[in-house]
Structure 1
Amino acid sequence: MIKLSFVTSDGQEITTTARAGISLMEAARAANIPGILAECGGACSCSTCHVYVDRDWIGKLPGKAEDEADLLDFAFEPDEETSRLSCQVTLTPELDGMRVMVPERQG
């Protein structure tokens, strides 16, 4: 299992575990993380699963695809370096311990 930490916009840190192969968004939804709306259900057609990946972890992720980068333009206060759509981050064993922050609001 992969350990994940989500920091909500009010500073609450929620730690959960998830299996490799699912998306970060699916892990967030399974753990009822507040602020991850995921309105499109992971189809990469909205930006309501936006997160900020901790700078210590961003280099362990593959680069953003063009459609993800385009959708991040519609996210709330996107950060060029750390913003990701959690539906586009597939969990791997290398991400064990990853920490992400949930924005104040989505889209």
Structure 2
Amino acid sequence: MTKIQLHLQDKDGTLHTVQARVGRSLMHAAVDSGLDGMAADCGGSLSCATCHVIVAPAWAEQLPEPAADELAMLEMTAAPLEPGSRLSCQIRLSTALDGLQARMPATQY
């Protein structure tokens, strides 16, 4: 099982480096690591927008464009959208994303 490193900033501004298994979602990696601020209420079924993250610009460019259903759900986030705003349940981890940097907004509710 291949693992990669992710650099995730929690809602309080603390930077965490976590190991995540390739093939998992960014949301599951954050939840599995116990990071404060990742609510993920729907468990990744794309129905709640409580896994909102802001992906660093250099990494956001490497992600596929969000699908229409992700864009629609992003309109329901509690925190204002920013460049790089994504739902972490829709980001599938690959070896190309080793070192990915993202931060969680101040609130998911």
- What TM-score comes out, normalization by structure 1 length? 0.96
Equivalence map 1:81-92=2 (5 Å): 81-92=83-94
Q: Give the match for residue 63 of structure 1.
A: 65
Unaligned runs of 5+ in 1: none
2:76, 2:100 → 1: CA distance? Answer: 24
2:31, 2:106 → 1: CA distance? Answer: 17
**Aligned-pair RMSD on alpha carbons?**
0.8
Deviation at 1:9, TM superposition (A): 2.3
2:80, 2:35 → 1: CA distance? Answer: 19
- Identity across the alignment (%): 42
Q: Give the match for residue 106 of structure 2.
A: 104
* Equivalences, count: 106
Deviations 1:22-81 (A, max 9, x none): 0000000100011110000000001000000001100110110101000111111112x3
Unaligned runs of 5+ in 2: none
* Match among 21, 34, 54 for residue 56 of structure 2: 54
